[in-house]
Chains A and B, each alone.
Chain A
Amino acid sequence: MDAVSYPNAKVIDFFSKFLAPVRVLISSTPLPQQFKVKWTPTFVILDSQGEEHHRSVGFLPPEELIPSLTLGMAKTWFDHEQFSEALSHLDRLISEYPKSDVSPEAIYYRGVSRYKATNDAGALKEAYQKLHAEYKDSEWAKRASVYRLL
């Protein structure tokens, strides 16, 4: 991370705009034990109350780190049932990083967020259709496949 992702200008800008970041040495106490972290790097996104909403294990290059953290930000709002804020992060992730590994999950959560905000089941079906058309082999296409019946 120190050699590749953290010196990247886009990553630096992203951190400055959105994050309050802390580095935690895996051999320190008490946070690794408190968060049950067993391997590095592990990235954990928390809200301002310290509640966890997302984590990722393993090295991420800049073009995957930014969308992964963006997904975590969206899930923070999703968990608090603030769907318009979740959607704003998900829309940005999907449009700016369509080839990211987390884009299919973002499309899934966008469909669910839209459904929960509007009660329109068409949002779930649209998520399935996009996943089936563009990310057919992803696990999220499988998870959304039941929505084809809506």
Chain B
Amino acid sequence: MSKPIQWLSDLNDAKKKAQEEHKYVLLDFFNPL
């Protein structure tokens, strides 16, 4: 079984990770209902 998606806590963390690891930032706007 694969490890679930590792979501980051905020946009700044995502930008930092994207810069360091040559990745792309994804924002998933969601509604829990």
Of the four ranges (under 10, 10 to 19, 20 to 34, 35 or more), the interface on chain A belongs to 35 or more
* B3 adjacent to A20 (CB under 8 Å): no
Cβ contacts under 8 Å, A76 to chain B: 24
- Tell me what chain B mostly uses at the interface: helix, strand, loop, or mixed: mixed
Stretch of A42-50, A100-108, A113-121, A140-148 at the chain-chain interface: A42-50
Q: Contact: A19 with B3, CB < 8 Å? A: no
A7 within 8 Å of B by Cβ? yes
For residue B2, which residues in chain A have a CB less than 8 angstroms away from its CB? 9, 12-13
Q: Are B24 and A19 in contact (CB under 8 A)?
A: yes
Contact of B24 among A6, A26, A47 (CB under 8 A): A47
Partner of A22, one of B4, B10, B21: B10
